[in-house]
Structure 1
Amino acid sequence: MGNPPELYHRILNIPRETSPQEIRAAYKSLVKKWHPDKHPPSSKNEAEARFKAITEAYEALLDQQENRAVFGVCNDGRAGEKAMACGVVGGGGGAHIARTRSDDFGARMAPGTPAREFKKVYSSGNSGGRRAFAEFSSSIMRKAPPLERKLECTLEELCHGCKKEVKFTRDVVTKNGVAGLITFTGFTILDRSIVKKEVSQMVLVKPGWKKGNKITFEGMGDERPGCLPADAVFVISEKKHPVFKRVGNDLVLKAEVPLVSALTGWSFSFRLLSGKKVSCSFQDEIICPGYEKIIKGEGMPIADQKGARGDLRVKFEIAFPKQLTDEQRDGLAQILKGCAWN
């Protein structure tokens, strides 16, 4: 196969020192994700190239593990005993490696695509396979910048959760003309140009999501020749609410109280985001400037804690009269003179 091991490790997204079991686990996960049958036509070509390159990396790394087992571990003088343990059949110059992995493992993970076919595609004599891998291995290092868009949500939508259809325009590399045919992993790419394409996606907004939460559609951003398709990223933004302000998982409500009501008693009511009506009454207590009433569990849902909610904080602002007559001043002075101030 002739490619550097570092590239194989990078394709499988595994560290350099990895056991055969870990290699198989990484391979199993990746071929499930990138099997071409699981991808729409728009990303099928990329999936096919990735799928085949992943298989080559898997085959190559396991071959290296087998060679290391035979020529490293078993070459210490006890050739007969350890050769059998390491999977070497025969002796002397005729020894060969016994099969230590299933050649149809890839077939089980990729129905209809036996692993022996990948060997044929990626054999040293197959220029199409080498070309496919070369393009993939060069493009794996490059990805177009993400396409970011804002997704505005009301506090009600972030409180209850919702589904929102988003439409956006992306650059798409398309076939154009008949000149310059290129064979690539079993399909033909014509001369390419970039066109604008409008697409739509359904976004599921979960209860409790906050400003800054991101929803990523992998490979649905702009396309560029020679690069992997960018991701489309939608960033939650929060519309200003006429009544409530969100602070973390809490909701803050500001209530303005006339001075006379703050001193003599006051009642008011409001509706929560859910539509539930809440009443607050202050008959036996004085509302001081900066006073805050906390109503437990009536804030925003907490996204990662099922059933948990923040609090509702009602902050009171005292509305003082802008002017008083002399008679009113004298009356207030007489009334307040005997009040306890502590």
Structure 2
Amino acid sequence: MGKDYYSVLQITRSAKDAEIKQAYRKIALNFHPVKNPGDRHAADRFRESSEAYDVLSNPQRKAIYDQFGEEGLKNGVPLDKTNWSDPYTFCGDPHKIFHEFFGGDNPFADFYKHAELDKSENFGGLAGRGRKKQDPPIERDLMLSLEEVFHGCIKKMKISRRVMNDDGHTSSFKEKILTITVKRGWKPGTRVTFEQEGDQGPNSIPADIVFIVRDKPHPIFRREASNLVYVQKIPLASALTGTTIHVPTLDGRILDIPITDIVKPGFTRSIPGEGMPLVEDTNTKGDLIIEFDIEFPKYLNSDSKDFIKKALIPNAYKKEDKPKKQNVQMKSSDFED
């Protein structure tokens, strides 16, 4: 069961924006690590309340969460026939949410006048004023089909981020479209970075947003480096006697491949230049590797089994033995009249 952000902030689902802010303020101040040094429970409550506020204070995230729960929020949901919402990932830094909520001022200054906190940049203290620290990168998966990587394409990624208003103290959420030009042959793990496109804060540098290329599962092929692997089912009879198979390609062609060798378990056939384009030279491609899945018959009658034995096991049936000569001992009396 998913997280209940409303329970975390101890509010009802009908709570308005002001109530959400008030609830977060109370919990964040009560459970802040400065007031609860070494208290693991307080640290967990502080972090949970930060994530809950980050979701419920954003109208779009809140709407998705209210309808689809945590799973829909973090996995994305269909907005229309072609577009999905961006999966939500908490920034992982509750101090960042706290810092932005209080506008960079230290709410504990009146209580900890002699503490080192006043010198910390985490809350805009004396030593921290004017200094900005960049938030850690926000990483998101960029799911691409093999066709998109094979041909190259343009991907439009919609993000929702917090931006500072003109007064320099308050913020609001705005949507933005990031354009990614997918180059042919991009490999899984390729990183595309958009600098400082994360949430803005009064005393922090926005995080970079990093999209990481991942392969979508393909119904026919799988990618291994620059090669494509295709699995061909083949009946046992064809595996033994030969056949011609018809193999599709990512660009819509059909290759007719004659198989004249005996196909044994582990046998493969490699077709050069029919794999994925190389990033460094898109005119050069990897190989198409054909793996074989031999289909054995489910049943054989006795005549079929005898026929196969005669064909595959020459010595299975020996020639019929000739009648043996009898060794008869004759007596001399046998020849007398």
Name the TM tier (shorter chain). Answer: 0.5 to 0.7
The structural deviation recorded for 1:215 is: 0.9
Q: 2:168 & 2:285 partners in 1: Cα distance?
A: 56
Q: 2:148 & 2:229 partners in 1: Cα distance?
A: 17
Q: Which residue matches 1:151?
A: 142
1:207 aligned to 2:184? yes
1:316 to 280, 283, 292: 292
The structural deviation recorded for 1:160 is: 1.1
Q: 1:153 & 1:160 partners in 2: Cα distance?
A: 11
Q: Which has the higher helix share?
A: 1
1:238 to 215, 218, 225: 215
Equivalent AA in structure 2 for residue 209 of structure 1: W
1:164 aligned to 2:155? yes
Q: 2:242 & 2:212 partners in 1: Cα distance?
A: 45
1:222 is paired with a residue of what secondary structure?
coil
The answer as to whether partners of 1:290 and 1:317 remain within 8 angstroms in 2 is no
Q: Which residue matches 2:229?
A: 252
2:173 to 196, 216, 223: 196
The structural deviation recorded for 1:306 is: 4.5
Q: 1:266 & 1:135 partners in 2: Cα distance?
A: 77
The structural deviation recorded for 1:161 is: 0.7
Q: 1:210 & 1:290 partners in 2: Cα distance?
A: 26
Q: 2:215 & 2:257 partners in 1: Cα distance?
A: 28
1:266 aligned to 2:243? yes
- What is the TM-score of this pair, normalised by structure 1? 0.52
- Paired residues for 1:60-79 under 5 Å: none
Q: Which residue matches 2:203?
A: 226
Moved >6 Å (runs of 4+): none
Note the aligned Cα RMSD (angstroms). Answer: 1.8
1:275 aligned to 2:252? yes
- Identity, % of aligned pairs? 37
Alignment coverage as a number of residue pairs: 188
Instruction: Give unpaired runs (5+ residues) of structure 2.
Output: 1-127, 316-337
The structural deviation recorded for 1:304 is: 2.0
- Paired residues for 1:73-112 under 5 Å: none
Q: 2:227 & 2:283 partners in 1: Cα distance?
A: 15
Q: How far does the alpha carbon of each residue in 1:119-140 deviate from its partner, in whole angstroms, 9 at most, with x for none?
A: xxxxxxxxxxxxxxx966x21x
The structural deviation recorded for 1:173 is: 2.1
Report the structure number with the largest CA radius of gyration: 2
The structural deviation recorded for 1:238 is: 1.2
Q: How far does the alpha carbon of each residue in 1:20-63 deviate from its partner, in whole angstroms, 9 at most, with x for none?
A: xxxxxxxxxxxxxxxxxxxxxxxxxxxxxxxxxxxxxxxxxxxx
2:139 is paired with a residue of what secondary structure?
strand
Q: Which residue matches 2:278?
A: 302
The structural deviation recorded for 1:154 is: 0.7
The structural deviation recorded for 1:191 is: 4.9
The answer as to whether partners of 2:168 and 2:202 remain within 8 angstroms in 1 is no
The structural deviation recorded for 1:227 is: 0.8
Instruction: Give unpaired runs (5+ residues) of structure 1.
Output: 1-133, 176-189
